[in-house]
Amino acid sequence: MDRVFSGIQPTGDMHLGNYLGALRNWVRMQTQYECLYCVVDLHAITLWQEPADLSKHILEVTAGLVASGLDPKTNIIFNQSRVSAHAELAWVFNCVARLGWLNRMTQFKDKAGKNRENASVGLYAYPNLMAADILAYKATHVPVGEDQKQHLELARDIAQKFNNDYGVEHFPQPEPVIQGPATRVMSLRDGTKKMSKSDPSEASRITMTDSADDIAQKIRRAKTDMEPLPDSAKGLEARPEAANLIGIYAALSDTSADAVCQKFAGAQFSAFKEALTELAVASLAPIGTKMADLMKNQDYLDEILIDGANRARAIAEPILAETYKIVGLRR
Ligand code: TYM
């Protein structure tokens, strides 16, 4: 049976990268698959989070998921810490994954920075918890942005090693679903850096709660080069900022970078930026308004998370019980 699992960290404002790289595909998949969408709060605390901010961000991200078009009745929307199977299976995977595998993870190196000795153990073991998130449900499809590819490969390795070590066909090999023209949205200030919640510059990202004016200003100030727009996507090579803005336009208008280049061939950035602003405002402003509305009813958001967790637990618990049996922790 096909089953979708994906997650998002409640560590700051959701941004255009999250929306185009992940959320839009989540929305698309909800009609075809049984889907679990998880606010991964246990992942969030691998880096320091102020408790009051964390609990607010959990609700905000939940509001963002619903406002983006995910139906909390048909999908299972919940926060990770409510379902203990994630942490329990992660421990088993801590004992399956090898140090050498984790040593290769580029995200740990990026996030730990120079002072690696001072990083939390959780940050290092993060990919094992992520594998547990997916495999606790035997999920087969995982829609993510490009930056999660390496973690997904690790999840596949863990599933395979578990199956080999215990001589079983217990866990499936989860497939990454990395789809669309904006699987890696870049910073508006630097086309070689990923758009990220943790970038100190607010101008580097468009968030889902930005006002129309904020969006317009950020796009107007987005870095570009001096050339007019090319007539095909080939002309975007070695033009990271142009490629990024065209990719965003393509994703928002559900077309390809090539088609956008054809439409704006020879135009100056000023004209293109105006069109992009209009499109971004039309796509994001209604979501921001809906998020703000949902945040006024936090009890409703809690209900979604509690109900989602109950439904998630019903799937994960038998899989965890069977895993414990295979390992020999139960008769
Ligand atoms: P997170 O919270 O960083 O991001 C959530 C989703 O948004 C995608 N994304 C992007 N896509 C395109 N361009 C960008 N600039 C960009 N920034 C973020 C991410 O790829 C992701 O799909 N480790 C995950 C959360 C996680 C998870 C999981 C995902 C935990 N367990 C199990 C899938 C399955 C993360 O930190 O995502």
pLDDT at 72 over 90: yes
Task: State pLDDT tens for residues 163-209.
Answer: 999 999 999 999 999 999 999 999 999 999 999 998 999 999 999 99
**Domain count of the chain?**
2
* pLDDT for res 1: 79
Domain-embedded: residue 191? no
Residue 158 sits in the same domain as residue 80:
yes
How big is the CA angle at 4 (ends 97 and 60), to the nearest 5 degrees?
Answer: 95
Task: State pLDDT tens for residues 127-174.
Answer: 999 999 999 999 999 999 999 999 999 999 999 999 999 999 999 999
Residue 134 sits in the same domain as residue 265:
no
Residue 81 sits in the same domain as residue 156:
yes
CA of 188 to the centre of ligand 1 (A): 18
- Is 194 considered catalytic here? yes
Domain-embedded: residue 186? no
Residue 19 sits in the same domain as residue 131:
yes
> Where in the sequence is the domain holding 270, given as residue range(s)?
202-293
Domain-embedded: residue 149? yes
Residue 283 sits in the same domain as residue 305:
no
Task: CATH number of the domain at 262, please.
Answer: 1.10.240.10
Q: pTM above the 0.95 mark?
A: yes
Token pair, residue 272, equals 């293109």
Domain-embedded: residue 255? yes
Residue 12 sits in the same domain as residue 157:
yes
Task: CATH number of the domain at 173, please.
Answer: 3.40.50.620
Q: Is 6 in the pocket of ligand 1 (CB under 6 A)?
A: yes
Domain-embedded: residue 42? yes
Residue 34 sits in the same domain as residue 154:
yes
**Shortest-distance Cα residue to atom 37 of ligand 1:** 8
**Residues 101-116: what's their mean pLDDT?**
95
- Find the catalytic residue in 111, 149, 193, 290: 111
**Residues 252-279: what's their mean pLDDT?**
97
Question: Cα torsion for 13, 283, 71, 320, to the nearest 10°?
Answer: -50
Residue 7 sits in the same domain as residue 129:
yes
SS (H, E, C) 227-281: CCCCCCHHHHCCCHHHHHHHHHHHHHCCCCHHHHHHHHCCCCHHHHHHHHHHHHH
Q: Is 118 exposed, middle or buried (0-12, 13-18, 19+ CB in 10 A)?
A: exposed
Residue 167 sits in the same domain as residue 221:
no
Structure confidence at residue 316 as a pLDDT band (50, 70, 90): very high
In b/e form, how buried is each residue of 276-288, taking b as 16+ CB within 10 angstroms? bbebbbebbbebb
Handedness of CA 313, 316, 317, 318 (dihedral sign): positive
Handedness of CA 85, 86, 91, 96 (dihedral sign): positive
Q: Is 246 in the pocket of ligand 1 (CB under 6 A)?
A: no
Residue 33 sits in the same domain as residue 172:
yes
- Is 56 considered catalytic here? no
Q: Is 136 in the pocket of ligand 1 (CB under 6 A)?
A: no
Q: Is 148 in the pocket of ligand 1 (CB under 6 A)?
A: yes
CA of 317 to the centre of ligand 1 (A): 25
Residue 47 sits in the same domain as residue 75:
yes
Domain-embedded: residue 315? yes
218, containing H or E segment:
helix 212-220
Residue 326 Cα to chain centre, angstroms? 31
The Cα 270–Cα 274 span in angstroms is: 6
Mutation test residue for ligand 1: of 18, 86, 208, the one with most atoms within 8 Å of CB: 18
Q: Using DSSP, state whether 16 is helix, strand or coil.
A: helix
Domain-embedded: residue 262? yes
Residue 116 Cα to chain centre, angstroms? 24
- Is 197 considered catalytic here? yes
pLDDT at 96 over 90: yes
* pLDDT for res 42: 98
Domain-embedded: residue 147? yes
Strands (E), the chain: 3-8, 34-39, 76-79, 141-143, 175-177
Residue 29 sits in the same domain as residue 171:
yes
